[in-house]
Amino acid sequence: MGWGNIGRAVRRAWLSWTGADRGVAVVVCVAQLPGAWLLWTIATDSGKDDYGVGYSSLGMLIQLVAAPSVSLVLGLVQMAGQIVPAALLAYPSAVRFRGPDWAWHLLYAALFGAGWAALPAMLWDWPFMATALAFAALGALPMLAVAYARRRARVTGRRWGAVGVLGSGCFGCFGLFVLAFGGAALATAVGLIEEYEPPKLSAGQLAGVWRGVDGAVLRLEPGGRAEFVDLPAEPEVFGDPTFVVCDGTGTWFLDTEGRHDSDGVEGPEERDGVVVRLDDGCGEQTYWVIGGTEQEPELLVPFGDQDAPDLWILQRD
C-alpha cells in the first residue's frame, strides 16, 4: 500500500467516524474518569500513612465542584491524543492486513497509551508498565462503546441522539463509579488492598535526632532527656488551637497506651506516641504520634482544625 493509498484510507477512516461516533467516544472518555480516579487514589494511597487526619472536607468539596470540568477537559485530551489517532490507523490496518476494525483499534489504543505513559514515567517517576496498562484500559472502553453503538445502529436502523448519548454516559459514569467503589471495598475486605499499619518502636529505636522540613530539630537521648530547636509545642493556654515554637531542653518518654494523647489521633489503641515535656515553660507537653514505616519512621503532631490541620512531621536524621 503506497503513501497515497494510506492517505486515502486514513481519510476514509476519518469520514467513517460520524458525529454520533465521536459523541459516544467523548462521553465514555469523560464518564470513565471518576471511577478511574477513585481506583487510582485507592491504589496510590494503599498502605500509606494518612497521618490520622483523614480527608479534608474542604478539599473534597473543591474536588467535587471541579470534577465535571476537569473530567471534560481530560476526556477531550484523551479523545484527541489516543482515541482518534488509534481510529485513523485502525481502518487502513484492517483493510491491508484483514481483521475486525475494533481489534485494530484496541491494539493502537494500547500502543498510544503506552506512548503517553512514558511522559509521567519520566516526569514523575510513575511505574511505566502499570501506567501503560492503565492508559490502555482507559482507551479500550470508549472504542468498545463506539463499536456497540455502530452495531446497535445497524440492527435497529437508528443511531443514538444527543440525549441518549448523554443519558447513557451519566448512567455509565454512576455505574462505573459504584463498581469501582464496590470493587475497592471488596479488595480491602479480602486483603488485596493493603491497609496502613503504624510501626511499633521501642524507646531505644526512638532515641536519636529527628528533623523537620521547617528547621525543627528534636534530639531524644537514651536516658529520657530531650534537646530541641524550633520545635512546635502545645501552648500554655488550654484549648488554644495554635502552637508555640521553642528552643531548649526537656524530657521525653514513650506512651504505648495513648494516655497522654489529648487529640486522640486515630484513638489510643491505633498508634503509639512520644511525650515531650519542656523545662523552661515555653509551652506545654506535646504528644508526637509515631507514623511512617519501620524503615522510615516519622513523628507527627497536628495543630488547629482537624479537617485541615497544620501538620508538623519529623523524620529520623
State pLDDT tens for residues 48-90.
Answer: 666 655 555 445 555 555 666 778 888 888 888 898 888 888 8
Q: What percent of the chain has pLDDT over 90?
A: 13
C-alpha cell at 103: 481489534
pLDDT band at 5 (very low <50, low <70, confident <90, very high): low
C-alpha cell at 108: 493502537
Q: Is 169 helix (H, G, I), strand (E, B) or coil?
A: helix
C-alpha cell at 153: 445502529
Cα-Cα-Cα-Cα torsion 203, 209, 212, 216, nearest 10 degrees, comes to: 110
Q: How many C-beta atoms surround the C-beta of residue 252 within 10 A?
A: 24
The set of residues, in sequence order, having a beta carbon less than 8 Å from that of 194 and lying 6+ positions away, is 46, 47
C-alpha cell at 291: 507514623
**Which is higher by pLDDT, 239 or 27?**
27
CA distance 164 to 20: 10
pTM given for the model: 0.61
pLDDT band at 3 (very low <50, low <70, confident <90, very high): very low
Average pLDDT over the chain reads 77
Interstrand relation of 310-316 and 297-303 (parallel, antiparallel or unpaired): antiparallel
CA distances from 191 to 41, 47, 239 (A): 17, 11, 40
φ and ψ at residue 243, rounded to 5 degrees: -145, 165
